Amino acid sequence: MAVTPAQLAFASWQAEEEKERQRNVMLARNYYEGVHETFLTERLRTFLNARADHEFNLNVVRQVVDVVAERLILLEMDTAEADTADGSRTPLQQWADRAWTDADLDILQADVHEGAGRDGEYFILVDWNAETGTANLTPHQRYVDPQFDGDGDGCKAHYPNDNTRQKMSYASKRWIEQVDIGVARSRLNLYYPDRVEKYDWNGGDWRPTRDVGDSGWPIPWVRPDGTPRGIPVIHFRNTFDMRPESWDAIPLQRSINKALIDLMATGDLTAFRIYTAFGFIPTSDGQPLKQDGSNAARLGPAQIIGSPKSPTEAAFNAIDGADVTPIIGQLEALIGWLAVVTSTPKSRLTFGRQVAAEGTLQEMNEGLFAKCRKRQFMFDRAWVKCFEMARMLANDYGSAGLDEETAFTPAWEAIQSRNTADQQNEWAIKKTLGVPTEQIWSEMGYTSEQISAMKLSDEYQARLGMMQMSLVATQAGGAQSSVPAQSAA
């Protein structure tokens, strides 16, 4: 019996390296969520009110991921087209704006960038919604099997020889489908450039299946002229090897948690002042200590401890608690090392009495800026693929008639923050050098829609009129001055 592609895919899922990959994804996901392997004594668990060991930690891993995701802000999807003569948006740009709004990309992009940094990779499935007449952009996390504490729902990208620098061969998606109350089945879809294959698990093997409305099996994924559309699952990779952003931080996170537990335990056992009484036992009522200890003295503010014995017969002393400063220093050092190995600004992980100067802070952030630029490069092409696939579906299913030769250009918010004076000086220099006003407006953060509206304003049109009049006057003056010169010759 021939081996089906579904069986081959399932064998791939079961490969040991795939299992290890899923374990690592789940480990990174847990550390981001604050589910860490910590171990508390019964005493610590009691006074910290921790029901489980993992409830107590100092989670800095989340900051390592979020500090990158926060700077990856996609402003809009531009096109390589100039606005029309009247300053309005081109049909393709208008469609891109609507697609952005329909997909709610202001919110969706944050989930994608955060998920890719957390797990090392993330996915968007692009398909057509016949009811709304728009393309769906549906986010999916990396698949992790329930045997590794995953939810059994997600995608995986398949590359030749697992080399992510090559072109993706196909993508797979697995999930648990609720068929009826208390009845569920495992599903598997394989997405190829020219077809989609659907399977369900019958308890011993994957078998082809069809959903209501499917035209056949497999489902052709081709354009009206028969050419393949391409894989509709877009792969967002944090790095080429799909490394979670916090991977280097996890060992140090464990050390930080250990140091914090040591600090709490030391403070509980030795950091309090201990009082000692010699020659008598202090009691709350001045009577001898009862057998059950119910009248033992408890120290409190403004309380006086007395004894009928003479000073030579009795003494009441105090032993100061141990200094926990060295443990605090160790904890701060570990956080500092974590900041170094992850290129995360230390100011996001800890605090101090001294505030670094602006120039020093910018220099300290250079590692973060470089890392963010790399991630932006990785995500840039993936977002373009999402819009290219959505445009293709709009033309094939919605008869949109959109130009497919024009490229999409993602517009990102600047990663590196600069002070206002530096930005104003740079814009002034560019204006002097003849950089178009629209380009400067774009760098100032205005969207294409806002720029188009400003170009239609009365003030802008008046300035254009003055510039044209000045240009005509200059050309006329040059022509008049040339006539005497020719006559004199």
Average pLDDT over residues 411-427: 70
pLDDT tens-digit series, residues 350-399 = 765 444 444 445 556 888 999 999 999 999 999 999 999 999 999 999 99
pLDDT tens-digit series, residues 427-441 = 677 778 777 777 777
Query: What is the pTM for the complete model shown?
Result: 0.76
What's the CA dihedral at 23, 27, 28, 32 to 10 degrees?
Answer: 150
Average pLDDT over residues 170-199: 91
Average pLDDT over residues 146-166: 92
Q: Check residue 85 and give its pLDDT.
A: 66
Q: What type of residue is 13?
A: W
In whole angstroms, what is the distance from residue 125 CA to residue 172 CA?
11
Element at 173 (helix H, strand E): strand 170-180
Average pLDDT over residues 16-32: 94
> Cα–Cα distances in Å, from 283 out to 298, 302, 313, 326?
8, 16, 17, 37
Residue 365: partners with Cβ closer than 8 Å, 6 or more residues away: 345, 416
Average pLDDT over residues 469-479: 56
Q: Check residue 453 and give its pLDDT.
A: 73
243 half-sphere exposure, CB direction, 13 A CA radius: 13
Cβ proximity of 170 and 199 under 8 Å:
no
Q: Is the pLDDT of residue 100 over 50?
A: yes
Q: Check residue 481 and give its pLDDT.
A: 44
Tokens, residue 419: 């002070």
Q: Check residue 195 and give its pLDDT.
A: 96
Cβ proximity of 194 and 226 under 8 Å:
no
The helix/strand count (H/E) of the chain reads as 14, 13
In whole angstroms, what is the distance from residue 124 CA to residue 109 CA?
10
Q: The tokens 């003494």 sit on which residue?
A: 315
Binning pLDDT at 50, 70 and 90, where does residue 41 land?
A: confident
Cβ proximity of 363 and 63 under 8 Å:
no
Torsion sign (Cα): 430, 431, 437, 442? positive
Q: Check residue 107 and give its pLDDT.
A: 93
Partners of 185 in beta bridges: 177
Q: Check residue 360 and give its pLDDT.
A: 47
Partners of 206 in beta bridges: 201
| Per-chain mean pLDDT for the chain | 84
Residue 5: partners with Cβ closer than 8 Å, 6 or more residues away: 190, 197
Task: Give ∠ CA 310-313-318 in degrees, rounded to 5.
Answer: 100
Cβ proximity of 112 and 119 under 8 Å:
no
In whole angstroms, what is the distance from residue 105 CA to residue 411 CA?
13
Binning pLDDT at 50, 70 and 90, where does residue 320 land?
A: confident
In whole angstroms, what is the distance from residue 122 CA to residue 110 CA?
12
pLDDT > 70 in the chain, percent: 84
Give me the count of residues in the chain. Answer: 489
Binning pLDDT at 50, 70 and 90, where does residue 485 land?
A: very low
Q: Check residue 276 and give its pLDDT.
A: 81
Q: Check residue 488 and give its pLDDT.
A: 32
Q: The tokens 């489980």 sit on which residue?
A: 52
Closest CA to 234 of 109, 132, 321: 109
